[in-house]
Amino acid sequence: MESGGAKDPDNVIGLNVHVDTFEGMRSGVPRLLDLFRDWELQTTFFVPMGKDHTGWTVKRVLTRRGFIGKTRRAGIIETFGVKTLMRGLLLPGVEIALGNSDLLKDIRERGHEVGIHGLDHVYWHDHIKKMDKSKTFETLAASFATFEQIMGEKPRSFAAPGWMINSHALAFFGEYGLAYSADTRGAYPFFPRMGGRTFTTLQVPLTLPTLDEMVGIAGNDIETLSRYFAASLKTGLNIMAVHTELEGKRWLPFLESFIRKALDQGFRFARLTDIVARLDRTALKVCDCVYGTVRGRAGEVTVQGAPVAG
C-alpha cells in the first residue's frame, strides 16, 4: 500500500458518502442504504449538522470561474431540484440532521459509520479559508454538540465541506480527540501541517475524483464513467466520495456498475474508521496542507502537499 503503513496491505476502497442537502438526506440516503445492503458493503456517511442553505450557492454561478461549466455538465437542476436551490433564498433553511434524526441512527444501526460534514455546508465551504479561530471553534462546537445530541455519543470523524479546511479546525480536531478527518485531496493518509504547525489528527484524503468532476470529461454515460473509475483504482488504498444528490438519485446505476467492476477486480470496501484502525501510525508521513485545484472542480480545495523533510 503506497505510503499507507497498513499492517496487511490489500486492495481496499474507502467509500464515503457526502450528504450536502436535506433532500439528499431524506431521499438519497435510503436508496444508497438499500444498494449497500444488496452488495453487503460497509461505508462511511458524512452528514451536515445544521441547516440546508443550498440556495446561497447561486452566487457561485455568477462569480466563480468554471462553476457554470461544472453545473451544466452535472445537471444542477436535475441533481438538486428547484426546491433545494431555493433554500436560503426564497425558502427558509431546514435542519438536515435534526430533521432526519431517525434516519441518521438507522445508518449506524445498519453497520455504517457516521461522521460530521460541517454545520452549514455552504457557509463553511465559502468562508472557512478566512475564518478566524473563534468563529471556527464556535462552528465546530455547534456541529459536534448536535451530533452528540442525536447519536448519544461523541463523533470520531469529520469531512470538510468542499474539501476546504483551515489550521484552526485542524487544531480543534486534535483537542477534541477525533480519530481522523477527511478534509483534503491527495494520495495517502498523512499527518497534516498547516500554518507552520503539525497536527495530531490523521488526515485521510480523497484519492479519486468525484463523479460530478468527471461527467463530460471522462464520459457522459454510466458504462463509460464506471469503467473510467474502475480503471483509476490503484493497488492498495483508494478513497472515493459519492454524493446523495448524485449517486443517491439518477446516478445510482453508475455507482452499482462501479461497485460490480471493483469487486470483480478483487477490491473490497471498508469503512474509513476500519481502514484507519489498520494503519501503522509510526509509518505515516507529515505533509503540508495547501490550497490548490483539481481537474474538473471549480474553485479551490485543500490538497496534500509534499512530505515534510525530517
What pLDDT, on the 0 to 100 scale, is given for residue 124?
Answer: 96
CATH number at residue 230: 3.20.20.370
Question: In the 8-state DSSP scheme, what is residue 69?
Answer: H
Tell whether 63 is covered by a domain.
yes
| pLDDT, tens digit, 9 for 90 and up, residues 79-99 | 555 455 544 455 567 899 999
Q: Which domain holds residue 100?
A: 12-307
Q: Is the dihedral of CA 182, 61, 20, 225 positive or negative?
A: negative
| pLDDT, tens digit, 9 for 90 and up, residues 112-162 | 999 999 999 989 999 999 999 999 999 999 999 999 999 999 999 999 999
Question: In the 8-state DSSP scheme, what is residue 2?
Answer: T
Q: Is the dihedral of CA 29, 279, 184, 252 positive or negative?
A: negative
Tell whether 276 is covered by a domain.
yes
Tell whether 5 is covered by a domain.
no
What pLDDT, on the 0 to 100 scale, is given for residue 5?
Answer: 42
Tell whether 290 is covered by a domain.
yes
Tell whether 192 is covered by a domain.
yes
Q: Binning pLDDT at 50, 70 and 90, where does residue 244 land?
A: very high
Q: Average pLDDT over the chain, rounded to whole?
A: 89
Higher pLDDT, 84 or 263: 263
At residue 94, what is the residue type?
V
Cα–Cα distance for residue pair 284/152, rounded to 1 Å: 32
What pLDDT, on the 0 to 100 scale, is given for residue 93?
Answer: 74
What pLDDT, on the 0 to 100 scale, is given for residue 4?
Answer: 42
Tell whether 20 is covered by a domain.
yes
Cα–Cα distance for residue pair 168/174, rounded to 1 Å: 10
Cα–Cα distance for residue pair 42/62, rounded to 1 Å: 39
Specify the number of domains making up the chain.
1
Q: Binning pLDDT at 50, 70 and 90, where does residue 310 land?
A: low
| pLDDT, tens digit, 9 for 90 and up, residues 41-79 | 999 999 999 999 776 455 555 445 554 454 555 555 555
Q: By three-state DSSP, how is residue 203 classified? A: strand
What pLDDT, on the 0 to 100 scale, is given for residue 269?
Answer: 98
Cα–Cα distance for residue pair 176/279, rounded to 1 Å: 21
